[in-house]
Amino acid sequence: MRDLIKEVFTSVFHPDGMEDQARLQADALSEPGARLAFTTDSFVVDPVEFPGGDIGKIAVCGTVNDLAVGGGKPLWLSAAFILEEGVEVALLRRIVASMAAEAKKAGVRIVTGDTKVVGRGMADKVFVTTAGVGVIPPERDLRAEHVQAGDVVIVNGVLGDHGAAILAARGDMALSADIVSDCQGLGHLMEAVITAAPGLRAARDATRGGVASVLNEIAEAAGVGIEIEETALPLRAEVRGMCEILGLDPLYLANEGTLVLFVPEDQAEAALSAMRTTEAGRDSVAIGRVSPGAAGRVTMRTAFGGQRIVDMLVGEQLPRIC
Binding site for a copy of itself (CB under 8 A): 1, 19-26, 29-32, 34-44, 46, 66-67, 69-70, 72, 76, 78-82, 111-119, 121-124, 127, 129, 131, 133, 136, 143, 316-317, 319-320, 322
62 versus 272: smaller Cβ distance to a copy of itself:
62
72 versus 225: smaller Cβ distance to a copy of itself:
72
Backbone angles phi, psi at 251, to 5 degrees: -65, -20
Residue 236 corresponds to which amino acid? R
Give least dist CB 66 to a copy of itself, A. 5
22 versus 97: smaller Cβ distance to a copy of itself:
22
113 versus 281: smaller Cβ distance to a copy of itself:
113
Give least dist CB 318 to a copy of itself, A. 11
114 versus 244: smaller Cβ distance to a copy of itself:
114
Give least dist CB 193 to a copy of itself, A. 17
- Alpha-carbon distances, residue 117 vs 2, 55, 100, 111, 121 (angstroms): 11, 17, 21, 21, 11
Give least dist CB 114 to a copy of itself, A. 5
Which residues fall within 8 angstroms of residue 103, CB to CB, at 6 or more apart?
Answer: 60, 77, 109, 110
125 versus 297: smaller Cβ distance to a copy of itself:
125
Distance CA(172)–CA(170), nearest Å, equals 6
CB 202, CB 146: distance < 8 Å:
yes
CB 273, CB 224: distance < 8 Å:
no
Give least dist CB 272 to a copy of itself, A. 25
Distance CA(56)–CA(113), nearest Å, equals 13
Give least dist CB 117 to a copy of itself, A. 7
**Which of 299, 278, 281 has its CA nearest to residue 289?**
299
CB 244, CB 257: distance < 8 Å:
no
CB 144, CB 218: distance < 8 Å:
yes
